[in-house]
Amino acid sequence: MPMRPTCYLDHNATTPLVPEAMVAMRGAMERCGNPSSVHSAGRHARRLVEDAREQVARVVGADSADVVFTSGGTEANVMALAGCGRSRVLVSAVEHPSVIRAIDAPEVVPVDTHGVVRLDALEAMLAASGEPALVSVMLANNETGVLQPVAEVSALARAYGAWVHCDAVQAPGRIGIDVRALGVHLLSLSAHKLGGPAGIGALVVSPDVTLRPLSRGGGQERGRRAGTENVIGIAGFGAAAQTVLSARPDRIARLRDGLERDLRARCPEATIFGGDVPRLPNTTCVAMPGVDSEVQVIAFDLEGVGVSAGAACSSGKVSRSAVLQAMGVGEDIARTAIRVSLGWTTDEADVNRFLAVWTGIYQRASSRGPVWAQTSRVGALV
């Protein structure tokens, strides 16, 4: 039996390597050298690292000296929160788990029903204590795509002497980023979200922030992260970052908007979360009435369509969305939500394929009644 062609619509989890990253990584693989060595091979490796550092910095409008390479977005987030030297940390209720769990017992700032951080609540929390604080608010939510008012958060935080960290891993190539305009002190990036390899990321650190290294030993990354640099991954990261500068988010936005119009036409009862506020142009978080998200993900997969339910950081498990819970979404609706995220490989045929499968699952479920994961009725939907 021939395999169905795969329709990949989970770019917020990871996006395929862009060709430029493959070329850069292949070139790095063909050379041997430790970036800390002073001979010619080491100097060549160092050049690859520093060229990539400049490419990554350019994407967010930072100085290359402010870029610290990490093993990914999670390490960058943990490094920011645990290494900033501030014991009081405030995080929004819709942050990625790598932020919420980076330290013990952070103070949680509530969001409104759209998933946007409440500035009034943040100000009240900052005013409640004179202790120097760090505020962590993401630029774009990984589940709903909702954008946060990071510049306003920064202005508010600075008025109270607080630093600001921003998890921006979902943003490059989808919206513009200017670290200075955002006014943040720390900003996290991840290569595999923008067409680079997994296992490499970066933390952009403002010169006025003294970062306490989590890994000690050598003097790599200007003493901010010990360990021999991942030259191959860094080269791929830099090349992928370079392609972001010519990305076409307007093309993706047209595809996403068409997908949502068609969904609403086919099922007016479908809920699109964050649809009334600014979002990433590639992300749709939608609830299919009466069909459990886990059932949907499996049914889509059996039809060759890759989507997800929530963040893809739970070892393959489908769990209830803490983001939707923080937005006040009822359990009966939240348990039916999936995330569709488009990327550079997505075309109109992919969108049409998704719509056809979504409609089929919904129509079959409507004729049989609600379908929850524990009923094991996935087969009836495909």
**Residues 6+ positions from 242 with CB-CB distance below 8 Å:** 20, 55, 58
Closest CA to 93 of 314, 311, 327: 327
Catalytic annotation present for 7? no
Q: How far from 285 is each of 143, 145, 308, CA to CA, in Å? A: 7, 8, 10
d(CA 149, CA 163): 15
Q: How far from 21 is each of 52, 81, 174, 228, CA to CA, in Å? A: 11, 30, 18, 21
d(CA 183, CA 166): 10
Which of the following is catalytic: 7, 32, 84, 313?
313
Could you tell me if 189 and 171 are in contact, meaning their C-beta atoms sit under 8 angstroms apart? no
**Residues 6+ positions from 356 with CB-CB distance below 8 Å:** none
Q: Give the pair of three-digit tokens for residue 310.
A: 């929530």
Give the active site residues: 313
